[in-house]
């Protein structure tokens, strides 16, 4: 039986990519370096909901309901959202808006010692505007804000899984 050349080539390329360590990023970038984790955000916060889902899906980290029982506590330092006019047409009507999200977080232990220093994430999206399609543009804007929240949580998870937390009990040798 003769194997098609394209199939053989695809298998060889897949083997080479697998051997070099290549993998798709996916939604969650591995396990967190903490056994127990507390999220100091309101239960109704969209970021809290998505963080809990991603942490539960990532594996070994357990989300606890009491900060005193947590090895690490996620704290929101700031959450700024802005909608600014980007451009106007000849009649002075808005043509484009810029949506900006600036989010800062940190991770501390139960004693309040910083494990992960404040980390800032900035997201920007531009959206066109049309007076004749106000309802559609409002829905598009809501979808962009939701997409930015999803992107924000993905970036938080990547940073939490990649940043090696420092031991606050050890003095730094600098």
Going from N- to C-terminal start, the domains of the chain cover: 23-162
Sequence-distant (≥ 6) Cβ neighbours of residue 171 within 8 angstroms: none
In this prediction, residue 27 carries a pLDDT of 47
Band of pLDDT at residue 6, cut at 50, 70 and 90: confident
Q: Give tens-digit pLDDT for 29-46.
A: 557 888 889 999 998 899
Burial environment of residue 140 by CB neighbours within 10 A (0 to 12, 13 to 18, 19 or more): middle
Which burial class, exposed, middle or buried, applies to 5 when counting CB atoms under 10 A from its CB (0-12, 13-18, 19+)?
A: exposed
**Quick one: pLDDT at residue 20?**
67
pLDDT exceeds cutoff 80 at 152:
yes
| 72-97: pLDDT as tens digits | 999 999 999 999 999 999 998 899 99
pLDDT at 106: 93
Classify domain 23-162 by CATH architecture: 2-Layer Sandwich (3.30)
- The pLDDT confidence band at residue 131, using thresholds 50, 70 and 90, is confident
């Amino acid at each position: 039986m003769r194997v098609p050349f394209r199939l053989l080539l695809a298998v060889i390329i897949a083997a080479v990519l697998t051997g070099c360590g290549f993998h798709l990023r996916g939604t969650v970038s591995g396990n967190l370096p903490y056994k127990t984790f507390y999220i100091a955000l309101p239960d109704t916060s969209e970021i809290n909901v998505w963080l809990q889902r991603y942490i539960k899906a990532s594996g070994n980290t357990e989300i606890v309901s009491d900060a005193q029982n947590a090895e690490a506590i996620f704290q929101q330092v700031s959450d700024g959202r802005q909608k600014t006019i980007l451009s106007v047409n000849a009649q002075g009507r808005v043509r484009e808006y810029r949506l900006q999200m600036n989010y800062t977080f940190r991770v501390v232990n139960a004693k309040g010692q910083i494990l992960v220093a404040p980390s800032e994430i900035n997201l920007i999206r531009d959206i066109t505007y049309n007076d004749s399609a106000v309802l559609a543009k409002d829905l598009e804007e809501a979808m962009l804000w939701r997409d930015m929240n999803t992107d924000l949580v993905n970036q938080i998870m990547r940073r939490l899984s990649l940043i090696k937390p420092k031991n606050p009990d050890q003095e730094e040798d600098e």
